[in-house]
A and B are shown apart, each in its own frame.
Chain A
């Protein structure tokens, strides 16, 4: 619908543009023909969306139909239904894809993946298999990975990534077995086809998964209850996401990876600011201290985290150097040079933080607050220059969060409670109004330059 409107509008506008000399009259038909060939994307994506919804509905219907008649069936009949349904769905998807119905084929493939998961649960039920249930979710996720990889199917792969997130959530929060490292192996296996096919939607799922795992790991460190370890974990994440941000910057320079670079930068900058925000709290190093058994549980771990931090620092330095070399000195815009200087300052601060005694917590927090503020300003600056509105929006969001946190830290004990809440209310109302106005102004500026959202 949107495409046909666009083409109608183009038909109306083109003669005016030709009259004003913006386009050559003889190119009008070529432009319209090109627009018409591009308009099919909307329809095929609609087909895929409807197909995916249909697959989910059909899968749910099949499961509930057999569930209602389950008791009356023999084991053999149940197995025939389960395996037969899955095989038929896979055969159907292969047939549809071979005949050129790609979108419906992908939807039916997703149905087959759903049936594989249902079969895991139902076979476990038929044979009374009561094992560690996240293993079932992992098996399902691996099955989706296999289907997504071999059939080059983004929906199947995205579903597998969602199941991977569910798996790590179950292992981390449900069973509390400490940091769930195996998720990173699974995540890497998913990342290969995502990058190979340059799948943007699946990349969103992958990066959401990585953020979720990072958050889960942060909470595991909080539960372990040692402030020093917590600071090291957050710092390692900050450096890792900084490295990812630089990778995103480097991807923007490569024509084959440019399409994914803005997505990578968006999630990486969000994570960097979130980690920075945690490090701005003066009490971070005291969090959780004194929990029973914490010291024993961490035997040998601080050294590993320290090594991880050094490795990440080296990777960030290497990527910063590559990024530095990507543009000749005379072509480097001011935000580029400012960014490199800020990166060096942050890296130095993080290196000092690794060895600082707990007594330095207050002074370091002050420096982290300064660095956080500088990073937020730089992000706005960089977002404006590169036309990346999401960076500007993130910077404003984190700035507002930071102002609120410092207001609570500073005035909670100094003010009478009524003054505190009145002041906080005024700060929210006036600050929110001011920030929103500034954010809209800058976004408008980016849009007027015609570079919005890149």
Chain B
């Protein structure tokens, strides 16, 4: 095989690997069901390019006392969280090891268990509750924004509420479609 052909094979395979990253994400955004999730942006960091916001969703920590939820989760397990439409945010219904059968209008988002515990801190009563709970990661916890915009998302002005429009495909994979401020699009994701 000549040098030129070898280089061509390397370039082709590496380009395909990079293109696959884009294509898989775009497929989720194009074909997935759009849902709106309540979020609390935390800890913006200045990465080497632009600002980078960590997103903490209301469904990032889940109680397992909902009827029908599986219980025996441990860290690094895969979990499917069934969500139903709410006003304005989608709400968790149950948590499962396998993709469950869904009722009309529901979606299941796939996550990875980071932590499984038996007690949960209740902010309202300021006491620790004995309840089985999970900390989950869905792969939509990072959002890169233009330089300087991260701080504005972390500390919204009085009366501003940040939420995310997320696409969830049939396999449970999720991707961020838009960042919403008071329900209006602030940042929208496009292919180009």
Contacts and interface: CB of A to CB of B under 8 A. Distances in A.
Interface of A: 63-64, 66-67, 70-71, 74-76, 82-83, 86-87, 90-91, 93-94, 97-98, 116, 119-120, 122-132, 139, 143, 146-147, 150-151, 175-177
Contact of A98 (B3, B13, B21): B3
Given A147-B10, A150-B6, A128 B192 contact: no
Nearest to B47: A125
A143 B142 contact: no
Contacts, number: 97
Nearest to A97: B3
Contact of A74 (B7, B146, B176, B192): B192
Nearest to A151: B6
A125 B49 contact: yes
9 contacts: A70-B147, A82-B18, A83-B18, A87-B11, A97-B3, A116-B14, A127-B25, A130-B141, A151-B7
Q: How large is the interface on B (under 10, 10 to 19, 20 to 34, 35 or more residues)?
A: 35 or more
A146 B13 contact: yes
Given A83-B15, A122-B49, A175-B76, A94 B7 contact: yes
B17 A139 contact: yes
A71 B48 CA distance: 12
Q: Main secondary structure on chain B at its contact with chain A?
A: mixed
Interface string B15-29: 101100110011000
A121 B133 CA distance: 33
Given A70-B147, A71-B50, A94-B4, 13 more contacts: A71-B146, A75-B192, A87-B15, A94-B7, A123-B21, A124-B21, A125-B52, A127-B189, A128-B140, A128-B176, A131-B139, A151-B10, A176-B75
A128 B76 contact: no
Given A71-B50, A71-B146, A98 B10 contact: no
Which 3 A/B pairs are nearest by Cβ-Cβ distance?
A94-B7, A67-B49, A130-B142
B89 interface: no
Contacts of B123: none
Given A75-B192, A97-B3, A120 B21 contact: yes
B115 interface: no
A124 B191 CA distance: 13
B147 A125 contact: no
A90 B8 CA distance: 9
B10 A150 contact: yes
A23 B22 CA distance: 69
B10 A146 contact: yes
Contact of B144 (A83, A128, A147, A150): A128
A311 to B, nearest CB: 29
Q: Main secondary structure on chain A at its contact with chain B?
A: helix
B143 interface: yes
Nearest to A98: B3
Contacts of A175: 76
B9 interface: yes
A83 B17 CA distance: 12
Contacts of A122: 49
B192 A76 contact: yes
A293 B46 CA distance: 40
B21 A91 contact: no
A75 B3 contact: no
A180 to B, nearest CB: 13
Contacts of B15: 83, 86-87
B7 A90 contact: yes
